[in-house]
A and B are shown apart, each in its own frame.
Chain A
């Protein structure tokens, strides 16, 4: 097992996104650090557009994540509906 992670700036834009990630990834651990939130998960993390839209109450383009993204770890794959991070697939 390896840890994949994504870190986002701690702000109003990301609050619903972090909630969405927590809903979609029960194994994820949310670490709140000064000015940032780092989300760790074992081997795999998925970010879903639909869940974010539910939390946000509006349409969302997953590429908007770029604006508040700080760093990540793992092999990335992104399409219109999901962004996944994986190690050891």
Chain B
């Protein structure tokens, strides 16, 4: 790109002031509290909204210019991808499982974030905040659209992409992300900002977008790299907004500290559970891997999150309550999750598989303390069952966590051989959880989480336990979209088409 940088009449700071605060006004015939009815009930005290400033000082006119340029770059590559058999240039069709999960679970989250920021932009009284939320609302809509558009090219050739909206609403492994966003969207505007702007964007999206998208590049998936990095260029602004927002709250009034800390504790853990999916995509679903989930966590979790919380310590903020439990889970979570996805693969709109010897050796090198000790024996046994003609399918389904809604595949923080069992009784009814983090979140706001719609219990309450009817309802085509990659039509097609692309038969 060769943009013209013209000499501006106003400096950046003056422009920012003119196009944010100078657009606001004091209401004369309506009460401010009536105009912004949701600004105070969460208990956050704000004395001076003008102290809010976007450190990038991005104004709407510049925003349109740069976003338009990003879109032009994005569509140039999407066109090239479609015109040049991009669907055959990936390393292996196993890779597509990661994309299917992304499309079913994550892209709808972008749309949810769009709705949330549109609302937050209306509910915050400060003009700088309103403008920043408006930009982010448009960004998130763009992310949902560009992701769906980029992946639609694969839908022409491969299974499991066709009904992502039904999967988002109804299937079981997407509900962790859906409930995360539903929880945030049903909170007040300040909590929403901590949930999405701070915990998700600042602490966690690096783990979602950066190493995974770099992985997409490694696996020849030009379309995904492009939407990933195009989206992530906005995330840098979102992260900065999230960090500014938290500093703003903490600087405005000392009474805000305990409220903000409780939200950080809650939303770190909720976000960490969403990353369970991402850890599995990174360690198991990329045929060519850039780095392990553990390595990514060390860079973006330990090092970057550590730097952030050290910096925020001057306000009295400490690292999130679940931080130590998270660290203990890092070397286990991707394996625990993939074992679950494989044994319940009759109910997934993507394929999973038993890792090859080469894959297992890689996992063993990346997880020297855990893989050979705990997880290799299970995979080896599962491979034996398959060789004997009795492939492992666990029709026992799973106990879902009342809070994060994931199957309880996680173990005690200090005993990787024992499932973590936590339960509580509220108003005479029993509730089950996957961890202390999730149980604490429930106990703080039980009236919210008793309403969770849990997909596996719903199979019995709404469909009488009829798995075939459930598959129709979630738009999953049995024997096509689900099951082992080995022997799937995706596998057959990829091998056949790749052969056609490189020969003249």
Complex contact A35–B55 (CB within 8 A) = no
A58-B233 in contact (CB<8A)? no
* Contact flag A67-B56 (CB < 8 Å), given A34-B218, A35-B217, A58-B2: no
Contact B239 A72 (CB under 8 A): yes
Contact with A along B10-30 (1 / 0, CB 8 A): 011100000000000000000
Are B229 and A36 closer than 8 Å at their CB atoms? yes
In this complex, what residue of A is CB-closest to B10?
A: A80
Question: Which segment, of B207-215, B253-261, B339-347, B381-389, faces chain A?
Answer: B207-215
CB distance from A64 to the nearest CB of B (A): 6
Are A70 and B218 closer than 8 Å at their CB atoms?
Answer: no
How many cross-chain pairs have Cβ atoms below 8 Å apart between A and B?
Answer: 108
Chain B interface residue bracket vs A = 35 or more
Complex Cα distance, B237 from A80, in Å, reads: 17
**Consensus secondary structure, chain B interface:** helix
Q: Is B478 an interface residue when CB atoms closer than 8 A count as contact?
A: no
B5 touches A60 (CB 8 A): yes
- Check: B236 CB closer than 8 A to any chain A CB: yes
* Contact across chains for A76 and B310 when beta carbons are under 8 A apart: no
Contact partners of A66 in chain B: CB under 8 A = 56, 58, 66, 233, 236-237
Of A2, A33, A71, most B-chain CB atoms within 10 Å: A71
Q: Determine the residue in chain A with the shortest Cβ distance to B219.
A: A34
* B89 interface contact, C-beta 8 A: no
Instruction: List residues of A (53-89) whose CB comes within 8 Å of B's CBs.
Output: 58-61, 63-64, 66-80, 87-88
| B1 within 8 Å of A (CB atoms) | yes
Q: Judge whether A71 and B239 touch: CB under 8 Å.
A: yes
Verify if B303 is at the interface (C-beta below 8 Å from A). yes
| Residues on the B chain within 8 Å of A7, using CB | 210
Closest residue on chain A to residue B62 by CB atoms: A63
Determine whether A25 belongs to the interface, using a CB cutoff of 8 Å to chain B: no
CB neighbours (8 Å) of A36 from chain B are 210, 214, 217, 229
Per-position 1/0 for B235-247, Cβ under 8 A of A = 1110110010000
Task: Write 13 A-B pairs (CB below 8 A) sorted by A numbering.
Answer: A3-B303, A9-B229, A9-B233, A35-B214, A61-B3, A63-B56, A64-B3, A64-B66, A66-B237, A70-B209, A75-B243, A76-B55, A80-B8
- A-B pairs, top 9 by smallest CB distance, nearest first, are A2-B307, A35-B217, A76-B55, A61-B5, A59-B5, A34-B217, A66-B66, A69-B236, A34-B214
